[in-house]
Amino acid sequence: MHPAPGSDSASTAKYRSIAADLAQKILDGQLSAGEKLPAHRVLAHTLGVTPATVSRAYTHLEQQGLATARVGDGTYVRVRSSSLDDAEPEPLAAPIDLAHNVAIPTDEVNALAQVFAELGQDPARMAQLLAYQSEAGAPQHRQTGAAWLRRFGTSGAWSRVMVTHGAQHGLAGVLRTMARPGDTLLTESLSYPGLLALARSMRLQVIGLEMDAEGLLPDALDKAAQTYQAKLLYCSPTLHNPTGRSMSMARREALAAVVRRRGLWLMEDVVHAAVLQQPPPAVSTLVPEQSFLLASLSKVMAPGLRVGYLEAAPEWLDKVAASIRTDCWMVAPLMPEIASRWIDSGAAERLIGLQRQHIGARLALAHQCLAGLDYHWSADHPHLWFPLPEPWHASQFASALRRAGVLVRTAEQFAAGRSRAPHAIRISLNTASSAEQLGLGLRTLVRVLHSDPQADMAP
């Protein structure tokens, strides 16, 4: 496949011309859904442009909903539509968001006002918060973080804990410390998009591993560790994103045994597990000297509270802290102060309890709206994993929903490496502005599901 480079006039950038030519081939059926597009350097050589220009063209196709980039594997045709104009997402006056993962507003504004009132009476403390801090965080904040992590079965030693601007920040620090371009990173076949984006930016080879009803399979991990000589593993054993699955204790022990035997470095994500009143022990507690435990408060309290905690062996924390120093010098101490006061006063537990109540009510509504349909859910978890019945394809269904005014995430957006994404979607119950909006969104989803996919494809 050799698309023409198109116009090189000042009004039409090269990458747009390339993207338009590829888009037309997709829409005309010359490129079919699932077909792999040429590698960046190959197409760049053919067209006489730079790889960066091809990269921008492929990104433009992704933004149009016509292609999907797979970390370590390339870019694939995603959907087929009837015209180029149809490929552009239609503007929605007020789409119902069942795609994003944002904590439900509860009483966090009043809790924040209380902290500010307390700080307003303590000028000396405010002065301390405006001074430079250690890269790993202030000792008081680290101690509170260690207390918070005990809910996941950790030892609670604050010398093993550092403060981060959320779990994504901590994950970036760990990867910059442990990985080099070309290294292999093992993860579930469906994994956190933030991890996949980080891996892409660092030019890591991502290998997606087989899963079952509990999550990652230890035998698949063992085989991949040997085959690829890999040393890095990222996984979410509790309330896995996007499927919501959780591992039994026996599975956690089997996974830890492989980590120990193969000398792997485990990056364990417990961000979603924080919503549970009694989360199961983290796998990291079974292999503490080979693990990085990543936690955050934003998904269970407020998205703007960018506070996370990273637990690891002290010698590795020092190295991660050095990476953070080069990145942002230090974690700004005001938000960890807010988090610490919420945790120490019990406000954090109260806010998470309110979160669980709202999630429970929304789950009940979802069960009512989706009665008779097959989907996976977990108590206290605001996501549903929804396999699509034939003949629907995930990208096609998501496009039909978008035109109907509802947004969801497809499995493609979580697919790791060469893993083939199932035809499934993740439904988030926590972002809709109200129960009424959520109900309308779910009923619309059911209506679209029962419509004719072929009619949806008709011009």
We report the CATH number of the domain holding residue 181 as 3.40.640.10
Same domain, 61 and 126: no
Same domain assignment for residues 28 and 71:
yes
Domain carrying residue 39: 14-83
Are both 64 and 154 inside the same structural domain? no
Co-location of 340 and 439 in the same domain: no
CA distances from 108 to 230, 273, 294 (A): 42, 20, 23
Q: DSSP 3-state assignment of 110? A: helix
Q: Dihedral of CA 82/87/91/95: which sign?
A: positive
Burial of 91-119, coded b for 16+ CB within 10 Å and e otherwise, reads eeeebbbbbebebbebebeebbebbeeeb
The three-state secondary structure class of 389 is coil
Sign, Cα dihedral of 251, 256, 258, 259: positive
Report the amino acid identity of residue 267: M
Residue 402 and residue 92 in contact, taking contact as beta carbons nearer than 8 Å: yes
Q: Is residue 5 part of a domain?
A: no
Q: What is the pLDDT of residues 264-279, one digit of tens each?
A: 999 999 999 999 999 9
236 and 262 in a common domain: yes
With a cut of 80, say whether residue 3 has pLDDT above it: no
Q: Are residues 188 and 321 in the same domain?
A: yes
Quick: pLDDT tens for 374-395.
999 999 999 999 999 999 999 9
**108-115 average pLDDT score:** 97
% residues pLDDT > 90 (the chain): 72
Lowest mean pLDDT among 36-40, 110-114, 304-308, 316-320: 36-40
pLDDT score of 250? 98
> Are 163 and 331 in contact, with CB atoms under 8 Å apart?
yes
Q: Are 259 and 198 in a shared domain? A: yes
Write the Ramachandran bin of 245: left for phi over 0, alpha for psi from -120 to 50, otherwise beta.
Answer: beta
Q: How many structural domains is the chain composed of?
A: 3
Same domain, 313 and 236: yes
On whether both 387 and 300 belong to a single domain, the answer is no
Q: At what angle do helices 334-345 and 139-149 cross, to 10 degrees?
A: 50
State how far the alpha carbon of 135 is from the alpha carbons of 69, 131, 265, 294, in Å: 34, 12, 22, 17
90 pLDDT above the threshold of 70? no
pLDDT given at position 2: 46
Residue 444: pLDDT band with limits 50, 70, 90: very high
Give the containing element (helix H, strand E) for 209.
strand 205-209
Residues 12-34 have a mean pLDDT of: 70
Among 22-26, 304-308, 310-314, 358-362, the range scoring the smallest mean pLDDT is 22-26
- Start-to-end C-alpha separation, the chain: 26
Confirm whether 6 is domain-assigned. no
pLDDT-wise least confident of 47-51, 174-178, 427-431: 47-51
Tell me the CATH number at 60: 1.10.10.10
Distance in angstroms (rounded) separating the CA atoms of residues 179 and 202: 8
Using the 3D structure, point to which of 345, 380, 415 is the last residue of a domain: 345
Res 30: pLDDT: 65
Position 29 scores a pLDDT of 61
The residues facing 7 across adjacent strands are none
Average pLDDT of the chain to the nearest whole number: 89
pLDDT value at residue 83? 33
Please report the sign of the dihedral spanned by the C-alpha atoms of residue 201, residue 202, residue 207, residue 208: negative
Among residues 312, 345, 378, the one where a domain terminates is 345
- Does residue 183 form part of some domain? yes
- What does the alpha-carbon distance between residue 28 and residue 394 come to, in Å, rounded to a whole number? 20
Kindly report, residue by residue over 341-366, the tens digit of the pLDDT: 999 999 999 999 999 999 999 999 99
